[in-house]
């Protein structure tokens, strides 16, 4: 473990949290503009939604390699190049006339996001013990908590007064400022970089060893189920609230304050349970059942025809799911990194990769039937939630033993 001063640790935690917020905002900031983009490009919701799903797939691919790249070249250099890639792609999108070119540029943005997602956690791992990592990862995920509150509202007003492209201008400007700060304060925490990359056979073997772990799949599926339900909501919510329920884009964007508040509640609850020395298995159980409660709440209004009740219950259901996400995410990721030790970066990368593939799949599922957005959202959420509950209940003893090691 690398020794860093408390001041530098706080600075690192701040800038990493800000970068997580920025890259998460790359999804959230133009959510309310998706119907406008459909109109501007004379396209379809399915095509425009590819700007989200391809972004997720880019992250899913990138996270498999950036851990190994940072093990070879160091955390600092990879972080700087990754953020620079995100910034450049953001600025180029502003001047791009084709929706398909934007989809390609979102892949480049996704590489920068993959770097932030993996390397930020590896930097914390390099200089903290496991309990401090859980606490710091909880703080790091505040970026994910704040982003849904601020980014959609900011994006809605930017789009209203300056057009939806201004959302990407904003991302580029903020990214450039954070890149400058990283250049100034980011130390190299990987004090023993690999002399060379693993050969392909060795690299494949590492992932094969990880995938042979039963508990890797148990924890990853539990993590992925909650992640997928949230992105199913992202994929359909703007069309549901704006086109079907006739919310103004700016009014719809305020929904994300509630989602951020729910994430804050879950994050605070998780840190409180951690402070009270609750076991990770107990905390995961709380998250699992919160996900299921949310899915059941979303299902309830489908038996009624009252418009306001429908909107209210769907929103409350999604809020429960965000609470669950905030509880489960840091526990699963920290445990996987520490359990696999030298292969911790690859385990984390594979975990995130699978979750983003599932998120893209969930977005695709809910856009299959654009005439029935609510039914699509409820069905997908129930399926993902049931999977997580079944996996948890059938492996509860193994989970207890795994976290007691």
- Quote the pLDDT of residue 110: 93
* pLDDT level of residue 319 (50, 70, 90 thresholds): confident
Let me know: does 136 contact 11? Beta carbons within 8 Å.
Answer: no
Please determine, for residue 108, whether its predicted confidence score (pLDDT) is greater than 90: yes
- Quote the pLDDT of residue 91: 96
Least confident of 61-70, 188-197, 207-216, 237-246: 188-197
Please determine, for residue 404, whether its predicted confidence score (pLDDT) is greater than 70: no
Please determine, for residue 144, whether its predicted confidence score (pLDDT) is greater than 70: no
Could you tell me the CA-to-CA distances from 77 to 181, 256, 312 in Å, in that order? 14, 34, 47
* pLDDT level of residue 374 (50, 70, 90 thresholds): confident
- Quote the pLDDT of residue 368: 80
* pLDDT level of residue 201 (50, 70, 90 thresholds): confident
- Mean pLDDT is highest, among 112-121, 260-269, 299-308, 373-382, for 112-121
Dist. CA 395–CA 111, nearest whole Å: 34
- Quote the pLDDT of residue 333: 81
The pLDDT > 90 percentage for the chain reads: 20
Assign domain 6-187+210-403 to a CATH class. Answer: mainly alpha
Domain spans of the chain, in order of start: 6-187+210-403
Could you tell me the CA-to-CA distances from 383 to 329, 362, 376, 389, 399 in Å, in that order? 19, 10, 11, 10, 22
- Helices and strands of the chain, counted as H and E runs: 18, 0
Please determine, for residue 202, whether its predicted confidence score (pLDDT) is greater than 80: no
Provide the whole-model pTM. 0.77
Q: How big is the CA angle at 80 (ends 188 and 33), to the nearest 5 degrees?
A: 140
């Amino acid at each position: 473990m690398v020794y860093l001063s408390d001041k530098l640790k706080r600075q690192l935690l701040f800038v990493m949290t800000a970068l997580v917020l920025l890259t998460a905002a790359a999804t959230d900031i133009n959510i309310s503009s998706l119907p406008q983009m459909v109109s501007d490009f004379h396209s379809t919701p399915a095509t425009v939604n590819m700007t989200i799903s391809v972004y997720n797939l880019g992250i899913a691919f990138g996270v498999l390699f950036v851990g190994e790249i940072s093990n070879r070249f160091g955390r600092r250099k990879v972080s700087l190049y990754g953020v620079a890639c995100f910034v450049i792609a953001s600025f180029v999108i502003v001047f791009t006339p084709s929706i398909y070119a934007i989809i390609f540029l979102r892949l480049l943005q996704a590489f920068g996001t993959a770097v932030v997602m993996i390397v930020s956690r590896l930097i914390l791992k390099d200089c903290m013990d496991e309990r401090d990592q859980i606490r710091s990862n909880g703080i790091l995920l505040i970026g994910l908590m704040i982003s849904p509150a601020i980014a959609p509202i900011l994006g809605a007003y930017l789009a209203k007064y300056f057009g939806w492209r201004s959302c990407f201008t904003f991302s580029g400007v903020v990214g450039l400022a954070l890149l400058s700060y990283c250049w100034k304060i980011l130390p190299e925490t990987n004090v023993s970089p690999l002399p060379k990359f693993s050969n392909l056979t060795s690299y494949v073997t590492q992932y094969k060893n990880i995938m042979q772990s039963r508990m890797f799949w148990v924890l990853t599926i539990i993590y992925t189920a909650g992640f997928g339900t949230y992105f199913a909501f992202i994929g359909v919510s703007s069309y549901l609230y704006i086109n079907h329920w006739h919310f103004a884009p700016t009014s719809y964007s305020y929904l994300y304050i509630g989602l951020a508040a729910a994430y804050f509640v879950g994050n605070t609850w998780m840190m409180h349970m951690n402070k009270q020395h609750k076991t990770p298995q107990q905390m995961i159980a709380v998250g699992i059942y919160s996900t299921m409660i949310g899915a059941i709440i979303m299902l309830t209004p489908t038996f009624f025809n009252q418009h306001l009740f429908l909107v209210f219950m769907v929103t409350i259901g999604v809020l429960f799911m965000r609470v669950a996400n905030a509880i489960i995410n840091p526990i699963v990721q920290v445990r996987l990194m520490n359990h696999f030790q030298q292969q911790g970066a690859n385990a984390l990368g594979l975990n995130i990769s699978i979750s983003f593939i599932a998120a893209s799949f969930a977005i695709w599922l809910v856009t299959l039937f654009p005439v029935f957005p609510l039914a699509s959202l409820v069905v997908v959420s129930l399926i993902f939630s049931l999977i997580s509950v079944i996996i948890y209940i059938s492996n509860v003893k193994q989970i207890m033993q795994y976290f007691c090691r």
